[in-house]
Amino acid sequence: MTTPTDRIIDEAAMAELPPPVARCLRRSGVLGQTVPARVRLHQRGDILLRGKWLPFTAEETYTLEPPSFEWNAAVRLLGLPLARAKDSLVGGQGLMHVQLLNLCTVVDATGPEMDQGALMR
C-alpha cells in the first residue's frame, strides 16, 4: 500500500543517486511516478534461530517525512507463535524488541547505537 506525495520522480532526482541505483529505478519504470509518502510491505520467509531455519511472516511500513519504519514479525513453530519481533525507528529513536512465546523478552534494545543503526536502514 502506498500513499503518494506531490513530488514526481524525474531525471533531476535520478541525477542525485548513485548510478547503479538510478539505473535500477529507470528500469523499474518509476520515472514520472509520484514519490510515495508511505509504503507497506508484507513479507514471508525463513529466519535462522539457534541453528534452525523457521518460517516467519512480517509487515513493514516506511515513511519519508519524517523518516521512519516499523517491522513487526512473527515466527511460528507447528502453527503456534514461537517469537515476535519489532524493529523500528520512530521520532528518531531506534528500538528492537523480541519476545519468546509472548512471555519472555530476549531483546529489548534502545539508545544512541540503535538510533543510528535504525536511521541507516
Stretch 93-121: mean pLDDT: 90
- Looking at residue 23, what is its pLDDT? 93
Has residue 93 been placed in a domain? yes
- Evaluate whether residue 98 is within a structural domain: yes
Residue 96 in domain: yes
pLDDT higher than 70, residue 43: yes
For residue 9, tell me if it sits in a domain: no
pTM of the model: 0.75
Domain ranges, residue 95: 37-120
Q: Sign (positive/negative) of CA torsion 9, 69, 121, 59?
A: negative
Contacts (Cβ under 8 Å, ≥6 apart) of 2: 36, 37, 38, 39, 40
Instruction: Give tens-digit pLDDT for 20-30.
Output: 999 999 999 99
Query: How many independent structural domains does the chain possess?
Result: 1
Tell me, yes or no, whether 62 lies in a domain: yes
Give yes or no for residue 1 having a pLDDT over 60. Answer: no
Give the residue among 3, 2, 121, 6 at the shortest CA–CA distance from 68. Answer: 121
Q: What pLDDT band is residue 58 in, cutting at 50, 70 and 90?
A: very high
pLDDT of residue 4: 61
Residue type, 87: D
For residue 65, tell me if it sits in a domain: yes
Asked, for residue 21, whether it belongs to a domain, the answer is: no
Q: Within a domain: residue 41? A: yes
Question: Rounded to the nearest 5°, which phi and psi values hold at 53?
Answer: -85, 125
pLDDT in tens, 78-105: 888 889 999 999 999 999 999 988 889 9
